[in-house]
Amino acid sequence: MADPQPVPVPGLLPLDRRVGQYRLVERIGHGGMGTVYRAEHLRLKKMVAVKLLAADRLADPGAVGRFEREMAVVGRLDHPNIVRATDAGDADGVHFLAMELVDGLDLGAVNRRCRPLAVADACEIARRAALGLQHAHEHGLVHRDVKPQNLMLSRKGEVKVLDLGLALFRAGTPDEDALTATGQLMGTANYMAPEQFDGCHTVDIRADLYSLGCTLYALLAGQPPFGGPEHKSIFGKMTAHKTKPVPRVTAARPDVPPGLVAVLDALLAKDPAARPSVPAEVATALEPFASGADLPALALVALIRGDARDTAEHATVTAANSTPVVSTRTATPGRRRRWAAAVVAGAVAATVGGAVWLSRRPAADLVPEVPAGLLAPRVPVAGDDIKPDVAALEPRISGRWYDLLKTRPTEFHWWDPKGINDWKHDPARGMVRVVYANNTGLLSFGRADSGGFRLQIGFQQPAWTGDFGLFFGGKRSPDGQSVRFQYLRFASFANAGEQQFRLYRGQNEIANLLKPPPLVRPRDWVSSEVTSPDQHEQELTIEVGHAGLQLVKWNEMKCHDLLTVNEKFSADDYTGEYGIYFFKTNFTVVSAKLKPTD
């Protein structure tokens, strides 16, 4: 196929057309100053984000100057927490800026889908954003529009600062000041520092720290400090930021520790002098509260919870950045400008979609549908809440594999008092996604009351943090007060700086089911180190016979150590519910099958 031909007209260009060395593939953002495209570098065969200046702005020297200033601003920065510029120029009359294409979601979208965020996750996001802002500060830059929509969370868990279109940099040539009209107020009202409402040209890095405080507050409380319905107008928000006390974050999040409340109080001080002086101080202050953060897991949860455009093999979620608020006010005559405006007011940020790829092996050895009469319905027991259309089925024919993902699992135990846990069953694609589980959960595939069986489940997880596995021998007490079961649990841990993985065999009883909160009593009896997982499906297989547990395999690795405690269990401990077991984690089951053995 020949290279696309250059087009001399900028603006909303047709897709699959060429601008310099770039082929435009998809429009991913549009605003008054220009359009952002997903594009392919024709020689490097690499996807990037390319921003083009709008055609109707070419005749405006100020707009062209601001666009060129943006090139200079982004080009001078090189930091893992800031989106990098890769190229810039003028090709056939088209002004363009090429930037790295980030595979993920902006934090505005993440917060909408997952709010409220865990304290550790919110603090780690803010900490990494502070590191990016520190780098910008060291190069004389003030962002002026820090907010969740201008922070990107990649699928790998990276945090990147976006959109330097409103940035200021320290004094340069006299004509730089003319690039932004006198009296123009720039920023986003929900996140603007009090002094930014008085003069966007006079703010310093401490205004960014106030905005970062509003952002952290929003990640913890679900909305910024003055984002409620009582502050609808820009004037109302301005008045609140300037004069009203910040609502206590603990009113929305009682679990926020006092030390973190103190950090927020300092960031959100009305007086800039009372705030931290540089972003590095904020990053250091947040570090103790970020312990235990798992941003790759958060990214996966956010992607799965989105309105995905599913195909047979993958799901893609795309989110668009919100446009900064740009309003006009009367400037005080003779106000001295200490900073110079550097680029585009109301610029478009390059927010791109992310994809979750789930590889599956052929399932030709499975029976896709079992003829009527060969399966017996799972019998409800006291305390069960089973709907007829989701009842699990028990295979009766020995020696044949049965696909357990054709039927929706039942919640053998699922406690979700805050309504934040979530799991999804997709029978067409043959998978179960545990999107988020903040407590111990048990999803049952069926019930084995007699005879032996082999159970094989395939798992996928973005960062292999573990805390999932399978259970069997699940029983509910006659009064419905408790459940007990055996489990095999996959876990990850650090040893001398290296990540290692083990399977644990144990027994658990969950009591107080009718008078919550439940009391969970797990006991690990024995463990076995297993091979490190890769990015593909990892299989956990067990075989239960008359003599108890006879086989445990992690992929092709047999775990003989886990069979050494069979004497601790009676025959009754092997009959009952079987399925998947998990605790405070997220993962996907991409295959699950069972074969009766006698």
Q: How many helices (H) and strands (E) does the chain have?
A: 8, 32
3-state SS class at 487: strand
Q: Are 548 and 566 in contact (CB under 8 A)?
A: yes
Q: At what angle do helices 279-286 and 119-138 cross, to 10 degrees?
A: 160
Query: What type of residue is 490?
Result: F
Q: What is the SS3 string spanning 275-318?
A: CCCCHHHHHHHHHHHHCCCCHHHHHHHHHHHCCCEECCCEEEEC
145 is known as an active-site residue: yes
51 annotated as belonging to a binding site for a ligand:
yes
Structure tokens at 117: 């965020």
Query: What type of residue is 158?
Result: E
CB atoms within 10 A of CB 239: 15
Residue written as token pair 């020995």: 398
Cα–Cα distance for residue pair 174/192, rounded to 1 Å? 27
Residue 150: phi, psi to the nearest 5?
-105, 20
Q: Are 189 and 96 in contact (CB under 8 A)?
A: no
Q: Which residues of 327-363 are buried (b: 16+ CB within 10 A; e: fewer)?
A: eeeebeeeeebebbbbbbbbbbbbbbbbbbebebeee
Catalytic-labelled residue, pool 145, 163, 403, 573:
145
Catalytic sites, residue numbers:
145
Binding-site residue set for ATP? 51
